[in-house]
Structure 1
């Protein structure tokens, strides 16, 4: 595998992990624009453990993820009292505050950045992204996924059915933060250098776009959206300065024609019906020949 292809796939792996971090709270009806801040928490926490405490990387990364999840719980409890645009603004401000803290925290390099000693190879990053994807697929087949859908669809009805709406919202927010911290920890150990400026609001906005474009109705939407935003600009590289304009025009046209996203629940139902219809036709043919 060439170095260029490996680099593109590594970026794709990080984008997939970030997309699923946004997808979890969005599945409960929450728009988190501060996901980059939680990635920063995981990155700096894991890097500090490997650099200063001499922890092995395989121990530091889960702790960094847990630290981001804990911050998600502590912040999510008061922040999730807001809704709609106010929640988006609150999480936006949260991401900015976290980035500013690390930008001025001299113990982890401050504005100069923070070198990281341990190295995570590209194949380790690939394995991490695959692991996050499998975890999300398994989670989508549990009762918890049904609770998320119920809370997103109608919190009042979900509450009347005995679902702890507040608990589901906080858990989805915290779990998304933990996934973001997991990706951030691997980012720190793959590139061996982190700086607070990387975890900006633009990173959060781009990640939200991955999920919205891919679709929030199924667990595969974030994966497809992240792949599209990562790979298509590279395929358009031959058009040089026009590639971003062409890419933006395509997104505008596509979202106007399909605002629900690329992968939808109805699309999956269509593919499920086709094998059943084919099997029914085959059975009718055998019955007629008999």
Structure 2
């Protein structure tokens, strides 16, 4: 059996083109190559495969799978060995369109949960972009996002208890166009109802937690920064359900879901 690392598309807000790694196991049997996809992440992943027009007449494809942590999508793709130019390096996107997204679509998200503001108690920050903001909160992946005007190095805290399932902190790049969308440092946390919080634009090497850590609400998790698709230092906070779709949420002590752009909010709870 051979083991390959395959670059896939994992959907999430403002960076749905970010490359993550998922392992592919390959087996050679009866003149065919069999590919199994393995989920290395703590969070579940939905996988959708569609054969290319140029390959659909000779490959076998399983179109969908929902993988738990360490779950395997067995025989996801079967390719005649005669159609494989280099058996030592099979890139499955040569044969199929591959899309993946974090989350379990069967999870029932608690829409009434009240989140803590994502910074230290007593601190106050201005909202520079709220739900539906015209600059970048105008897509399904970012419609229900809040941008706080944090400074570089400010402490970011967990808005809800959960498990860290992804950390990126290696970037020091930013720009005002979407070509920098995959340069944003971030911490992603999975909650017990299946929802997922994304804390984005963090400082290089600014993560205070690691993948697999259990965190409590109000715990320091990162330092704010200016990385990725941005024009100013800030924290981009957004909540997701499965499918890479942002969802509305409420903060403790606030009467309405949507925080107002230009207004300051102090964390009291």
- Shorter-chain TM-score bucket reads under 0.3
Which structure shows the bigger proportion of residues in helix conformation?
1
Q: Name which one, 1 or 2, has greater alpha-carbon Rg.
A: 1
TM-score by structure 1 length? Answer: 0.20
Which structure shows the bigger proportion of residues in strand conformation?
2
